Structure 1
Amino acid sequence: MLFNRARIASRSLFGSLRHQLVARRDFTIAIDGPAASGKSSTARAVAQELGLGYIDSGSIYRCATLLALRNNIDINESAGDLAALINKAKVDIRVRPSTSRPAPNLGRLAVPEVQVLLDNEDVSKEIRAPEVNQLVAKVASDRSIREAVLHIQRQLAESAESISTNALSKNAEGVPGGVVMDGRDIGTTIFPNAELKIYLDASAMARAIRRWDEMNNQMKEANALQAAKGSSDSDSAPAAYPSVEKIARELEARDYADINREHSPLRIAKDAVVIDNTNLTFEQQVYTITDLARERMGLAPKHGDL
């Protein structure tokens, strides 16, 4: 068994929830957890397996951070100005089914690709830039900004639920329409009534190793792209990434900031299923969540032998 099934909350509710959820034809899965716990890739894979919509909550805060950088807004002094910009901005998250693995360590599961548009501009890569990484936690800690982002999150979720997404997956027969959203306060603040709440966790060192692998894969892709273009400019080569140990320290600092911020801090929802994936494969954690979702939908699990 993947993890202690005794930690699964409200298993006895499955029977009473079945008819209600299927009849209503929507289902929300909230996946929370600390930085680099695998929330995004796991949520995308779960959405594809079940044929649900997907919303990357963190990308909205990254868009807000990009707006701050582009407009030279000091978060300490003018957070209200940034909140006003967010309220006027149009954020769109588009999901494209994938049939290939994004990285060797993700096993045989395909993870959908996500395109993030800010006022119709594709900023998918720009919001992952180092300067955004350094500022996003500060941006996300401000109450006025969180309130502006919350409005966008709920709008996107409503839009995702209104679209027939079952075509994304051959495994989606009989699955109600709905959405998977990942972040740090989805199950506690954004969707406190979500039908399934997951808290995805892992040790700081395990998360640091995964983050380093992700950075290393990105560097290899950049090098391959430069080679394909015939570039020999050493100044354009990606800078060396920090050590695993340094990344682990940075993640622990981010955890502290997320847990201790005043507004919507990182918490484990009281009815969440806690999954520590330190020693789980990517496939195991995805299939565990999809089986939990199917069971709460009144459908038979597909991976009960894991």
Structure 2
Amino acid sequence: MFCARVRVLCSTSKFWSLGRKQPAREFTIAIDGPAASGKSSTARAVAKELGFGYIDSGSIYRCATLLALRQGIAADKIDEHISELASLISEASMEIRIQKDAGRHTIGLAAAAGRLVVPGVQVLLNSEDVSKEIRTPEVNRLVAKVASDRSVREAVLHMQRALAAAAESSSTTIRQKGKDIKVPGGVVMDGRDIGTTVFPTAELKIYLDASPMARAIRRWDELSNQVKDAAKAKRLSNSRNTGGAGDGQSTKPAVTVQADYPSVEDIARELEQRDYQDINREHSPLRIASDAVVIDNTNLTFEQQVYSIADLARERMGLERKHDD
């Protein structure tokens, strides 16, 4: 086992360390499910809707995977270098910044004014912003192997609980039907073993799923957007470097978007392999908690799944629903 130096920075600029005593937990929403089922974006939107804190547990494993890649550790050599990887992580610092007022709008809605905003999350590894790098195809292919190691999972378990405690929002009091009602503070965490291992007594457990092809298309869209964003950033950089020459001409060629990411079919096969690894790993496998609410979002809009989870939480907190159909 190893102990990494971890700190989290949430919207209240509150820092947390593993050596500090954790306060009593109030209301936790655990969202589990297979890769590309929409856990992260849904969890962030639910947290924003409820005013809760949010932690992306998968980013911890992705940072570990990125360290392995940077050390040149091959996928078939992870087992041989796990102690080396553990040492690298123990010497690293990790910071998660929850950007509740920044993010992407959801798409495909009839009324633009009703669009939800998915809060952004910035992940820093050794003070370097790796938010995009931990989402590359290379990391996607290797993260399941890294996450299957028992020593890695045991150490990450402590990080997850400490980070969640730091990000949890404070309780408030509201007026409802002429009475003052205390609303507990809360946190939303997504992953693959949150409701079964990390927070087995979570007040609300969700298992989010979708058809294999729907998940593959979503992952392809994510990679496609990354490439487009990178191309846009490069065009802006080139424009600044040329300084807008007086003759209006640039000496540099135009930037084109290169589709160097996998096809939908390739991604579907990768997700199938990831599912198999997650479900069949020895330690903390992916499974549905006995008391989890299962939501198949294949044919749901983003709003439907977010509002349904948020209202389930409100019901369990003794509050009124806000989005009855």
Show the counterpart of 1:190.
198
- Cα distance in 1 for residues equivalent to 2:306 and 2:227: 26
Aligned position for 2:268: 248
- Aligned with 1:299: secondary structure? coil
Q: Does 1:76 align with 2:50?
A: no
Q: State whether structure 2 residue 303 is matched by structure 1 residue 292.
A: no
CA deviation map 1:237-295 (0-9, x unaligned): 54432222221121111111110111111000000000000000000000000000000
Deviation at residue 91 of structure 1 after TM alignment: 1.8
Aligned match for 2:167, one of 157, 160, 173 = 160
The verdict on how the C-alpha distance between 1:175 and 1:94 changes in structure 2, with shifts beyond 3 A counting, is: farther
Q: Does 1:63 align with 2:63?
A: yes
**TM-score for the superposition, normalised by structure 1:** 0.83
Query: What secondary structure sits across from 1:98 in the alignment?
Result: strand
- Post-superposition offset of 1:26: 1.4
Say if 1:82 and 1:234 are closer, same or farther in 2 by CA, change over 3 A: farther
8 Å contact 1:90–1:118 — kept in the other structure?
yes
Partner residue, 2:42: 42
Distance in 1 (alpha carbons) for counterparts of 2:303 and 2:145: 33
Partner of 2:122: 115
Question: Cα distance 1:108–1:100, how it changes in 2: closer, same or farther (>3 A)?
Answer: farther
Asked if the contact 1:83/1:148 (under 8 Å) is kept, the reply is no
Question: What is the RMSD computed on CA atoms of the aligned residues?
Answer: 2.3
Task: Look up the match of 1:210.
Answer: 218
* Equivalent position of 1:10 in the other structure: none
Change (3 A) 1:230 1:134: same
Residue 277 (structure 1) aligns with: 297
Aligned to 1:95: 98
Q: Is the 8 A contact 1:91 1:152 kept in 2?
A: no
Q: Taking CA–CA contacts closer than 8 Å with sequence separation of 6 or more, which of the two structures ends up with the larger relative contact order?
A: 1
Task: Give secondary structure in 2 for the equivalent of 1:104.
Answer: coil
Q: Which runs of 5+ in 1 are unaligned?
A: 1-23, 167-172
Q: Does 1:51 align with 2:51?
A: yes
For 1:155 and 1:78, how far apart are their aligned partners in 2? 27
**Which range is displaced more, 97-106 or 230-239?**
230-239
SS at match of 2:205: strand
- CA deviation vs aligned residue, 1:66-117 (integer Å, no higher than 9, x gap): 1222334441202123223333432221111236634534771001110111
Distance of 1:271 and 1:110 partners within structure 2: 29
Once the two structures are TM-superposed, the CA of residue 302 in structure 1 deviates from its matched residue by: 0.5
Identity between Structure 1 and Structure 2 (%) = 72
* Aligned CA distance change for structure 1 residues 133 and 25 (closer, same or farther; 3 Å): closer
Task: Judge conservation of contact 2:96–2:123 (CA < 8 Å) in 1.
Answer: yes
Matched, 1:179 2:187: yes
In the superposition, the TM-score normalised over structure 2's length comes to 0.78
Q: Report the counterpart of residue 28 of structure 2 in structure 1.
A: 28
Partners in 2 of 1:158 and 1:129 — Cα distance? Answer: 29
Tell me whether 1:261 sits opposite 2:281 in the alignment.
yes
- Give the 3-state SS of the residue equivalent to 1:46 in structure 2: helix
Flag the 1:215–1:148 CA change in 2: closer, same or farther, 3 A. same
2:307 and 2:232 map into 1 onto residues whose CA distance is 33
Greater strand fraction, Structure 1 or Structure 2: 2
**Cα separation, partners in 2 of 1:233 and 1:255, compared to 1, 3 Å:** farther
Deviation string, structure 1 residues 29-59 (Cα, Å, up to 9, x no partner): 0000000000000000000000111000110
Does the residue aligned with 2:320 lie in a helix, a strand or coil? coil
More displaced 10-residue stretch of structure 1: 208-217 or 185-194: 208-217
Cα offsets for 1:117-174 (capped at 9, x unmatched): 123222212212332222111101111111111111111011112x5498xxxxxx95
Match of 2:145 among 126, 138, 146: 138
User: Partner amino acid for 1:122?
Assistant: D
Return the match for 2:155 from 133, 148, 151. Answer: 148
Gaps of 5+ in 2: 1-23, 173-180, 240-251
Larger radius of gyration: 2
Question: Counterpart of 2:223 in structure 1: which amino acid?
Answer: M
